[in-house]
Amino acid sequence: MFSRITGIGSFLPGEPVSNADLARRGIETNDEWIASRTGIRFRHLAEGAETSSGLGLEASTRALAAAGVEAADLDLIIVATSTPDFIFPSTACLLQGKLGNRGATAFDVQAVCSGFVYALVVADKFIRSGSHRRALVVGAEVFSRILDWSERGTCVLFGDGAGAVVLEASDRPGILSTALHADGAHHGILSVPGSVSGGKVIGDPFLRMDGQAVFKFAVRVLAEVGEECCAAAGIPPSAVDWLIPHQANVRIIEATAKKMRMPMDRVVVTVDRHGNTSAASVPLALDEAVRDGRIRPGHKVLLEGVGGGFTWGAVLLEF
């Protein structure tokens, strides 16, 4: 028993917000400062009433339509998010209710920017075990809610959005290999170090990051896990048709590709238009590359994620 992606969908809220738009909102920054350091020029920001489950619903509806599958046919729903609608119930259960599905296994995965890769691996294991046959895997984030908009070093980096895939049982391999890792010793370089207790915020409720430390760590582990995943499938990185790394910073993407000896014309880049959408970044980029025709049947695609925790992982697919 194997699993294959049969449908992909994505959703971005509102109109693109440019770097110049942020400057006009009172943030001490400009287009040249942001673009030269990160490659980011636009991002999308959710309105006040929009939620991760709402963004996920839009992406899921498109993925289900692409797969020709009804929501009632799903027996597994996994949502990767670090910005859930509520403390509980899970965003997956809220999405399940909005889709009108009843009875499917539903839960969230919290691995920050690696979340979608983690969730896809978990769904693959469920299907390969024979216990489930049709899964919806979603990455959805409203990171704008946890940003300190007075800290220009972080607030300009992130955006909101959602991406989803339908993963179905198949007698033909679709997911060729996977690898997941974590090291909690590095939690301090990227975190939201706050919580809620007794109705009050305890600690710091905003995202805090040591940018240089994150850069060095991310480039190293993304290259390593990509090579690990290729080795597990018995192919060299040169046999990969497309690399889709987590879309955090174009410098990280370029450095990772260089370490893996992957030319940039075989790397999918959307960070310039989406910013860092955390768990949504990989499925957003995957959906774009499938819809514009770059990814075609028979192509091998390497998905990679790295995020706070620290967590990191990779999935090698064949379409």
Give catalytic residues, as residue numbers: 113, 246, 276
* Angle between helix 250-259 and 31-38 (nearest 10): 20
Residue partners of 211: CB distance under 8 A and separation at least 6: 153
Contacts 24+ apart (CB under 8 A), 267-271: 267/242, 267/243, 268/242, 268/243, 268/244, 268/294, 269/39, 271/38, 271/39, 271/40, 271/247
| Two structure tokens written together for 135 | 């899964």
C-alpha to C-alpha distance for 200 and 51, rounded to whole angstroms: 22
* Cis bond before residue 88 (omega within 30° of 0): no
CA angle 258, 191, 144 (to 5 degrees): 90
3-state SS assignment for residue 255: helix
User: Do 284 and 270 touch, CB atoms closer than 8 A?
Assistant: yes
C-alpha to C-alpha distance for 286 and 150, rounded to whole angstroms: 32
C-alpha to C-alpha distance for 112 and 82, rounded to whole angstroms: 5
User: Do 217 and 189 touch, CB atoms closer than 8 A?
Assistant: yes
Residue 136 identity (one-letter amino acid) = L
* Angle between helix 281-291 and 115-129 (nearest 10): 80
C-alpha to C-alpha distance for 232 and 147, rounded to whole angstroms: 38
